[in-house]
Copies of this chain bind each other. A is one copy, B any other.
Amino acid sequence: MDVFKQMSFKELMKVLGLGTVAFVLGVEWLNWLTRRLRDSRGPLKEVLFFPSPQVCVEHLFTSHRSFPCACPFPHGIQTSFSRLLEHLLSARTSLEMCIFSFSNMEMSRAILLLHKRGVVVRVVTDRDYMTITGSQIGALRKAGISVRHEMSSAVHMHHKFALVDGRKLISGSLNWTLTAVQSNKENVIITEEPELVRPFQQEFLKLWEASDPANLKLQSKNGQIKK
């Protein structure tokens, strides 16, 4: 500390300035290194397994908190479910979802938050399962999110995938329900591998067009196509 005392103000400023520059360069270098390491392993490839223990995920929804969260669940623990929410909430421009069954409240909260932030959300779902008890499809529609559904009731739209910003695929066995997340043995693959993302983009567009209500040919009771 004596060395600082003997320095003139000017010298002190010089040392502080150089120190700050060195610090910023150091952080930049570390950033560059982590990006290089991550890129050297190629695009993101991650697998999440469920069931996932219940933990607090409030921090994912409210970035600034003036007071500690009072909920009874363990805090500060990352689980498969919190990772899944993080990936969903990383959307900045678009989120396309092909979801067979959707009743998980926290996932619904995440989708509604993205919509509020201006992310363009589009959903294709199953004609029967969109009306199951606790389905969140109504809440999405109420908020103004475009939701379409499989036209035929003889088949199921059984996909459970989402595309974040058109470049990150989230897909697996997991239906977006509380039971799937907290009880069943399930998997979700998350990847940015273009060879895996592109086919799902095409599949989404195909199903989106095929379930366009405008294509719905109204059939009168005797099966005649109404113009």
Interface positions of A from 7 to 50, Cβ below 8 Å from B: 41-42, 45-47, 49
- Choose, from A86-94, A102-110, A112-120, A186-194, the stretch at the interface: A186-194
- Report the count of interface residues on A (CB-CB < 8 A): 38
Stretch of A54-62, A151-159, A217-225 contacting B (4+ beta carbons < 8 Å) = A151-159
A155, A159, A173, A174: residue with the most chain B Cβ atoms closer than 10 Å = A173
Whether B203 contacts A187 by the Cβ 8 Å rule is yes
Q: Is A81 an interface residue (CB 8 A)?
A: no
State whether the Cβ of A176 lies closer than 8 Å to any Cβ in chain B: no
Q: How far is the CA of A160 from the CA of B173 in the complex (A)?
A: 7
Q: Is the interface of A mostly helix, strand, loop or mixed?
A: mixed
Q: A154-B183, A185-B207, A191-B196 are in contact. List 4 more A-B contacts (CB 8 A).
A: A98-B185, A155-B179, A161-B173, A187-B203
Would you list the 6 A-B pairs with minimal beta carbon distance, nearest first? A47-B199, A45-B195, A155-B183, A158-B184, A156-B184, A157-B185
24 A–B contacts from the bound complex (CB under 8 Å): A41-B195, A42-B42, A45-B193, A49-B199, A51-B155, A154-B183, A155-B183, A155-B184, A155-B185, A156-B183, A156-B184, A157-B184, A157-B185, A158-B173, A158-B174, A158-B180, A158-B185, A159-B185, A159-B186, A159-B187, A171-B173, A187-B203, A189-B196, A193-B193
